[in-house]
């Protein structure tokens, strides 16, 4: 999609459709809207198309509801524009412009508008053979045409495209996205955007003692890999080194503890955390924050092959801790354990991991909030601040040391599951053992990385979350 910034009278904006925000309690008198009293209320995501408006170059004017003005923020702008673009796209409109409302014309709102348009244009229909609908161009129209707005529009394009790249990776079926294909995607990203890329293969991981990761991989014919993507700024003042760790299980059968057949096809999304890290690094490489950032993505298939690990097996992680595998479907925490240890060995001073880790977090928080766990209040607050700015909702969860009692094992240092109660918390407690004293945040995105039903502003399927939060965290680190 071509993205541009335009200035001048709205009446002269040449587009197939011009999106005009309208708000509750603030009557819109332009474009003949005064004649629609009672029909156009300005309620959030309400959409009304006007055709052939006198004195307007655009073929259509779309009045898009922003809700109550006092509650309208960048996140609402993103959703409103996404809904408007999806509505117009369904009608085969290809050239769209947005009239920035004068009350919300800051760079933050311009960036959010571009992100909303790009995200709204995405559909998970790669393998459908019918003709695809796509928006060709999106313009942000503002009264003033300043350098800060230009930068914001460019930044929105980078971040929106990175999030859609993540969504496209997550949407790939497991026969077309194996661990080796994840490696290829990371290598292509590194080449195109100037990142350093290192791939640890089975033998090297074995030498490093990554028994937890390799134990998960041993049931599959597909070889495992640990992807490492590095971004190094020209200079850094803080001394911080941010490590991003993402779960990359390209398909999860549950292993010997096999999952029910119902819904198992969705388990292609079990690499959403890893895809988010690759997408975030793509944006970080272009936006160039002032701190070094390294992503670590352990990639495996969890299959019930003849060599698969069994319940009751004991593996030794890279940290030296022994783990009793009670349930082979709790595999994500095993591969993340070794990735977190390796990230610490590479000098990362702060760690954030993201994983579709537990069904328990969906029971606790539904599909609206990411479960956030942390061993460090400062890093927790940084991530929460970034997520709030980006409209990616997260909720801090408890991580009391007493929860470790659920992971006791008579035969190893700890078990990989803790029973029925507090499943999302015990999974995070398990990971905390491998983050050790390094400031760390764990994001359980099992309920938020995938939409089972489309939203007006977002297609059904992968969401690309939490790419925007991770990018904002890196950009704001030294602010």
3, β-bridge pairs? 138
Whether residue 286 is found in the same domain as residue 220:
yes
In a domain, 262, yes or no: yes
74 φ/ψ angles, rounded to the nearest 5 degrees: -65, -35
Measured in residues, the chain has a length of 479
Would you state the pLDDT for residue 432? 98
SS3 368: coil
In this prediction, residues 316-345 reach a mean pLDDT of 98
In this prediction, residues 297-307 reach a mean pLDDT of 98
Would you state the pLDDT for residue 33? 59
Give catalytic status of residue 128 as yes or no. no
C-alpha 429/C-alpha 406 separation (Å) is 9
Domain count, the chain: 2
Would you state the pLDDT for residue 235? 84
CATH number, domain of 122, equals: 3.40.220.10
In this prediction, residues 417-423 reach a mean pLDDT of 94
How far from 43 is each of 191, 261, 355, 479, CA to CA, in Å? 45, 41, 35, 36
DSSP 316-354: E-TTS-EEE-S-TT--HHHHHHHHHHHHHHTT-SEEEEE
Residue 9 predicted with pLDDT over 90: no
Would you state the pLDDT for residue 28? 74
Whether residue 88 is found in the same domain as residue 174:
no
Asked if 382 and 396 count as a contact pair (C-beta separation under 8 A), the reply is no
Would you state the pLDDT for residue 37? 62
In a domain, 204, yes or no: yes
In this prediction, residues 374-397 reach a mean pLDDT of 98
Looking at 84, 110, 143, the residue that finishes a domain is 143
CATH number, domain of 397, equals: 3.40.630.10
In a domain, 153, yes or no: no
pLDDT band per the 50, 70, 90 thresholds, residue 238: confident
Residue 35 predicted with pLDDT over 70: no
244-287: per-residue pLDDT in tens?
A: 999 999 999 999 999 999 999 999 999 999 999 999 999 999 99
Asked if 111 and 155 count as a contact pair (C-beta separation under 8 A), the reply is yes
Helix spans in 233-321 (H): 272-287
Burial class from Cβ neighbours inside 10 Å (0-12, 13-18, 19+) for residue 452 reads: exposed
Q: Is the bond preceding residue 466 a cis peptide, omega within 30 degrees?
A: yes
Closest CA to 394 of 408, 378, 380, 377: 380
Would you state the pLDDT for residue 310? 98
C-alpha 268/C-alpha 184 separation (Å) is 17
Whether residue 204 is found in the same domain as residue 136:
no
Residue 188 predicted with pLDDT over 80: yes
Judged by average pLDDT, the poorest of 26-40, 130-144, 184-198, 307-321 is 26-40
Q: Within 10 Å of residue 34's Cβ, how many Cβ atoms?
A: 11
139, β-bridge pairs? 4, 97
* Residue 96 belongs to domain spanning: 2-143
Pairing outcome for strands 370-374 and 394-396: parallel
81-94: per-residue pLDDT in tens?
A: 999 999 999 999 99
Would you state the pLDDT for residue 7? 87
Whether residue 138 is found in the same domain as residue 258:
no
Whether residue 130 is found in the same domain as residue 183:
no
Looking at 77, 110, 143, the residue that finishes a domain is 143
Would you state the pLDDT for residue 10? 85
Asked if 99 and 13 count as a contact pair (C-beta separation under 8 A), the reply is yes
Whether residue 170 is found in the same domain as residue 128:
no
Whether residue 125 is found in the same domain as residue 183:
no
Catalytic-labelled residue, pool 30, 95, 202, 259: 259
Catalytic-labelled residue, pool 247, 333, 344, 382: 333
**pLDDT averaged over every residue in the chain:** 96
- If phi over 0 gives left and psi between -120 and 50 gives alpha, with beta otherwise, what is residue 59? alpha
Whether residue 130 is found in the same domain as residue 169:
no
138-182: per-residue pLDDT in tens?
A: 999 998 777 899 999 999 999 999 999 999 999 999 999 999 999
Closest CA to 169 of 265, 86, 274: 274
In this prediction, residues 34-61 reach a mean pLDDT of 86
In this prediction, residues 463-467 reach a mean pLDDT of 98
And the tokens for 182?
């994840």
Give catalytic status of residue 288 as yes or no. no
Whether residue 127 is found in the same domain as residue 182:
no
In this prediction, residues 212-234 reach a mean pLDDT of 98
Whether residue 257 is found in the same domain as residue 380:
yes
The count of C-alpha atoms lying within 13 angstroms of the C-alpha of 400, restricted to the half-sphere facing its C-beta, is 6
Would you state the pLDDT for residue 34? 58
In this prediction, residues 110-137 reach a mean pLDDT of 96
């Amino acid at each position: 999609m071509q993205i541009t910034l335009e200035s001048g009278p709205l009446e002269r904006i040449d587009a197939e459709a011009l999106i005009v925000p309208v708000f509750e309690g603030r009557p819109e008198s332009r474009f003949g809207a005064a004649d629609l009293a009672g029909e156009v209320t300005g309620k959030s995501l309400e959409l009304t198309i006007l055709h052939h408006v006198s004195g307007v170059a655009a073929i259509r004017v779309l009045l898009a509801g922003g809700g109550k003005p006092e509650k309208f923020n960048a996140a609402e702008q993103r959703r409103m524009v996404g809904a408007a673009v999806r509505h117009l796209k369904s009608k085969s409109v290809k050239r769209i412009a947005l009239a920035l409302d004068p009350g919300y014309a800051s760079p933050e709102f311009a960036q959010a508008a571009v992100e909303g348009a790009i995200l709204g244009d995405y559909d998970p229909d790669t393998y459908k053979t019918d003709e695809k609908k796509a928006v060709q161009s999106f313009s942000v129209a503002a009264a003033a045409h300043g350098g800060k707005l230009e930068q914001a529009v460019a930044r929105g394009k980078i971040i929106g495209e990175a999030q859609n790249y993540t969504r496209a990776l997550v949407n790939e079926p497991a026969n077309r996205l194996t661990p080796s294909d994840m490696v290829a995607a990371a290598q292509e990203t590194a080449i195109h955007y100037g990142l350093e890329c290192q791939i640890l293969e089975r033998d090297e991981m074995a030498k490093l003692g990554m028994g937890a990761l390799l134990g998960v991989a041993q049931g599959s014919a597909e070889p495992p890999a640990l992807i490492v993507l590095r971004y190094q700024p020209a200079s850094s003042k803080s001394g911080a080194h941010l490590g991003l760790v993402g779960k990359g299980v390209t398909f999860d059968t549950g292993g010997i503890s096999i999952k029910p057949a119902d819904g198992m096809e969705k388990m292609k999304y079990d690499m959403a955390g890893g895809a988010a890290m690759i997408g975030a690094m793509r944006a970080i490489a272009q936006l160039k924050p002032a701190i070094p950032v390294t992503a670590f993505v352990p990639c495996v298939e969890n299959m019930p092959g003849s060599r698969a690990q069994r319940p009751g097996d004991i593996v030794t992680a890279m940290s030296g801790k022994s783990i009793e595998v009670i349930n082979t479907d709790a595999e994500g925490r095993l591969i993340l354990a070794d990735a977190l240890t390796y990230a610490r060995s590479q000098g990362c001073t702060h760690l954030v991991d993201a994983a579709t880790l537990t069904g328990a977090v969906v029971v606790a928080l539904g599909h609206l909030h990411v479960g956030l766990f942390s061993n460090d209040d400062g890093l927790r607050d940084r991530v929460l601040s970034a997520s709030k700015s980006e409209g990616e909702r997260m909720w801090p969860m408890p991580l009391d040391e007493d929860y470790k009692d659920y992971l006791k094992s008579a035969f190893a240092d700890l078990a990989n599951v803790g029973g029925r109660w507090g499943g999302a918390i015990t999974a995070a407690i398990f990971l905390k053992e491998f983050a050790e004293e390094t400031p760390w945040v764990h994001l359980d995105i099992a309920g938020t990385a995938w939409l089972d039903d489309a939203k007006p502003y977002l297609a059904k399927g992968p969401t690309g979350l939490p790419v925007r939060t991770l990018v904002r965290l890196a950009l704001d680190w030294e602010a």
